[in-house]
Structure 1
Amino acid sequence: MSFFEEQCPEMDRYLGNHTSGEPEILKRLRKETFQKTTQPHMISGYQQGRLLAILSKMSRPKNILEIGTFTGYATLCLAEGLDREGKITTLDVNEELAYLPKKYFAESEFSGQIDFQLKDANDFLEETAEFFDFVFIDADKENYMTYFNLIKPHVKSGAVILFDNVLWYGKVLEENPKKKATQIIKELNEAVTKDTDFENLILPLRDGLHLIRKK
């Protein structure tokens, strides 16, 4: 949930009313996510989804990696900007929920460009020899630093990396956080900022998006 959703619903409605329309397939997916999952808040929101689509369209990536599929909403947003010969590999470990993204991937115009794998992201990154020009990470927060370190050898100059939930409901402002997830997110934000191979900006959209570009 964003600051505006919680503190200023009128502003959130204004922002929503002045954002490009949501494709019909995403409307149906979002509705079914709220009907059939126990943690529907994990879905990328409407506004965040449009941001992902626009960033993807601006960069026209040929090879996208997504870590954390959930129900596939962000996957379909990112696929909107794929190069005509491009593909998106999306990874998750939730076998029970896999039927839902598979259903919508098959229905979408990008069905032939989506490679959905039920696989641990650490194993995938250690095994793959691929390079990615767009990476979106929205998965287990305690592995964020591990993902960043494993991704580095798989991106070239100009590649975009996005980490979701990097404001962690404001918990990143805690000086000595007790929870490991908060500690790791703070560590990631600091490490990215200090890494001279990258340029970065944290966007305060919803729960915070860390936008990173390889120099």
Structure 2
Amino acid sequence: MEILPDDLQAYLNNHCEPEPEALQFINRETYLKVLKPNMLSGHYQGRLLSMLSKMIQPRRILEIGTFTGYATICLAEGLTEDGLIHTIEVNTEMEEMLKKHFSLTSVEKKIVPHFGPAEQVMADLQTEVFDLVFIDADKKNNLLYFEKILNQVRSGGIIIIDNVLWKGKVYGTEKDADTESFRKLNDSIAVDTRVEKLILPVRDGILLIRKK
């Protein structure tokens, strides 16, 4: 879902860093072979994630929701030389495709995939301290994941949550469960004094959070 008009989004795509060849392939393959391919981060959002990661230069990243690995690779581009990204995917049927996609890149060895329910995997990673976290999984649990991971994020670390404008519904009159879930998330973080926060109108909305 794109919040911005198509012509503006096209202009933005044409005036940012080009999409790497491996990611172009993953983009095409996702649209050819995977249900709900619009869940892919895509060119512009991917370059934003890559730039944020490069600015932070994280040693440890956590991604909740791997999908076809596009955002994983973008985030991994900014890792330190000894850095790792732990990425969690609940759908074990994605494992073969993800292995193929990661093998196309120079960051393959920095990616540690985990398969299973996010809460379970997060419990196994509870000794890690993260510089950057990207939450893009089952939407109803966004606030739960935020609360569970905040204590493992270093001071000054960044949490990014995707889809927070939810097709524009959060600022409309819709009352469905998913929309109300995003409203609760946004409203809760807006008043959370432990963090600084900013919503960016990129694609379906990105909530950028900095831990104080």
- Specify if TM > 0.5: yes
Matched-pair identity in %: 47
In structure 1, distance between residues paired with 2:3 and 2:50: 22
Of the candidates 34, 39, 44, which is equivalent to residue 47 of structure 1? 44
Superposition RMSD in Å: 1.2
The residue that corresponds to 2:29 in the other structure is 32
In structure 1, distance between residues paired with 2:11 and 2:133: 30
Q: Which runs of 5+ in 1 are unaligned?
A: none
Question: TM-score of the superposition, structure 1-length normalised?
Answer: 0.94
Question: TM-score of the superposition, structure 2-length normalised?
Answer: 0.96
The residue that corresponds to 1:146 in the other structure is 144
**Deviation, structure 1 residue 176:** 6.6
In structure 2, distance between residues paired with 1:185 and 1:29: 28
**Deviation, structure 1 residue 9:** 2.3
Q: What is the aligned length?
A: 211
Of the candidates 66, 73, 78, which is equivalent to residue 76 of structure 1? 73
SS in 2 for 1:65: strand
Amino acid at match of 2:53: S
Amino acid at match of 1:155: V
Contact 1:89 1:114 in 2 (8 A): yes
**Deviation, structure 1 residue 183:** 1.7
Matches within 5 A, 1:12-23: 12-23=9-20
In structure 1, distance between residues paired with 2:199 and 2:158: 13
SS in 2 for 1:156: strand
User: Residue 129 in 1 paired to residue 127 in 2?
Assistant: yes
Summarize deviations over 1:70-102 as a string: whole Å, max 9, x none: 000000000100000000000011112222111
The residue that corresponds to 2:3 in the other structure is 3
Contact 2:40 2:70 in 1 (8 A): yes
In structure 2, distance between residues paired with 1:211 and 1:205: 11
Q: Which runs of 5+ in 2 are unaligned?
A: none
Contact 2:91 2:116 in 1 (8 A): no
Contact 1:71 1:98 in 2 (8 A): no
Contact 1:61 1:83 in 2 (8 A): yes
Contact 2:63 2:86 in 1 (8 A): yes
User: Residue 156 in 1 paired to residue 131 in 2?
Assistant: no
Amino acid at match of 1:82: L
Of the candidates 167, 188, 191, which is equivalent to residue 194 of structure 1? 191
In structure 2, distance between residues paired with 1:145 and 1:14: 33
**Deviation, structure 1 residue 120:** 1.4
SS in 2 for 1:136: strand
**Deviation, structure 1 residue 124:** 2.1
SS in 1 for 2:88: strand
In structure 1, distance between residues paired with 2:176 and 2:102: 39
Contact 2:132 2:158 in 1 (8 A): yes
Query: Bigger CA drift: 89-98 or 158-167?
Result: 89-98
Amino acid at match of 2:120: D
